[in-house]
């Protein structure tokens, strides 16, 4: 994706790289209103934007668009960075750039989310950024919900509603050239080998029941009927159905554990 030399008219092969010391010196000038220092700082961190947009290279989005949005996030990070927090600029800027790109992708997503949910989600993201600025650490959902004055569950629901859909075939890791996809990491609780074995054992145990026990188990657990419905259909009392069912279940359990 990033073999393209020119992005938005910027020759990526000639982008400068600033040392941490150089960035700190430039920041001091930026805070004094030096626009040349600001321009130099932005140019010196465009590679950071490029490294971030690599994460979104499977979205089918235009690279130039993502780069421009990433630059907006970079500029916001520059405007809000506080030297007194004693952290590297890249540590602070990367989440800001990612957040800006994700907001852009959400706004251009074909999956529609109600305006009220979007409003809550965007307010939560804004509060999250403000709390990060305040404490230089990722705030908890409880802290965000408290700041918004909303229930935690409502904030969680809103944030989940604006998450970008992800393909099950999206690669998340390459092991010696063989890609591992998201679907490989999802556990199927219904179709595990243990479930198949357990189902076979149950069916084998049912085969050993007598005729009436088989009939009642079938009607109760395969047809979904109540004990009263079973009693009416086969002409016995509900108490008798309950007793036969209990004995049948005991026999099944005993057969499976032997």
Instruction: Note the pLDDT tens digit of each residue in 167-185.
Output: 555 554 444 455 555 555 5
pLDDT of 238 reads: 87
Q: What is the pLDDT of residues 123-132, one digit of tens each?
A: 888 888 888 8
Q: What is the mean pLDDT of residues 114-122?
A: 77
pLDDT above 70 for 215: yes
Adjacent-strand bridge partners of 11: 6
Q: Which tokens is 2 given? A: 């990033």
pLDDT above 90 for 196: no
CB atoms closer than 10 angstroms to residue 150: 15
pLDDT of 182 reads: 52
| Average confidence score pLDDT of the chain | 78
Q: Decide: residue 223, CB within 10 A, 0-12 exposed, 13-18 middle, 19+ buried.
A: exposed
Domains defined along the chain, listed by start: 1-109 (1.20.120.1810), 193-257 (1.10.10.10)
Q: Percent of the chain scored above 90 by pLDDT?
A: 10
Query: How many residues comprise the chain?
Result: 258
Q: Which tokens is 17 given? A: 């790289």
* Element spanning 175, H or E: strand 171-175
| Cα separation, 77 vs 82, whole angstroms | 10
pLDDT band at 158 (very low <50, low <70, confident <90, very high): confident
* Element spanning 11, H or E: strand 10-11
Which positions ≥6 away from 163 have C-beta within 8 Å?
none
Record the pTM.
Answer: 0.43
Q: Check residues 162 and 234 and name the one with the higher pLDDT.
A: 234
Q: What is the pLDDT of residues 18-31, one digit of tens each?
A: 888 888 888 889 88
Q: What is the pLDDT of residues 54-93, one digit of tens each?
A: 877 766 677 788 888 989 999 998 888 887 777 788 888 8
pLDDT of 2 reads: 43
């Amino acid at each position: 994706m990033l073999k393209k030399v020119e992005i938005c008219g910027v020759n990526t092969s000639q982008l400068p790289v600033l040392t941490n010391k150089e960035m700190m010196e430039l920041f001091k000038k930026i805070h004094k209103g030096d626009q040349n220092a600001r321009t130099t700082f932005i140019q010196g961190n465009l590679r950071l934007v490029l490294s971030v947009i690599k994460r979104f290279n499977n979205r089918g989005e235009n690279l130039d668009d993502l780069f421009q949005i990433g630059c907006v996030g970079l500029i916001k990070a520059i405007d809000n960075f506080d030297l007194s927090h004693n952290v590297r600029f890249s540590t602070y800027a990367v989440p800001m750039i990612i957040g800006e790109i994700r907001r852009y992708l959400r706004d251009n997503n074909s999956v529609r989310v109600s305006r009220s949910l979007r409003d809550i989600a965007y307010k939560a993201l804004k509060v999250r950024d403000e709390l990060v600025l305040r404490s230089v650490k990722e705030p908890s959902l409880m802290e965000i919900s408290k700041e918004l004055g909303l229930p935690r569950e409502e904030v969680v629901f809103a944030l989940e509603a604006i998450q970008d859909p992800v393909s099950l075939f999206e690669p998340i890791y390459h092991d010696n050239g063989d890609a591992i996809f998201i679907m490989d990491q999802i556990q199927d609780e219904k179709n595990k080998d243990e479930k198949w074995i357990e189902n076979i054992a149950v069916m084998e145990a049912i085969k050993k029941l007598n005729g009436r026990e088989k009939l009642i188990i079938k009607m109760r657990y395969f047809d979904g009927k109540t004990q009263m419905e079973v009693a009416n259909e086969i002409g016995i009392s509900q108490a008798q159905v309950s007793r036969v069912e209990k004995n049948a279940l005991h026999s099944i359990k005993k057969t499976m554990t032997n």
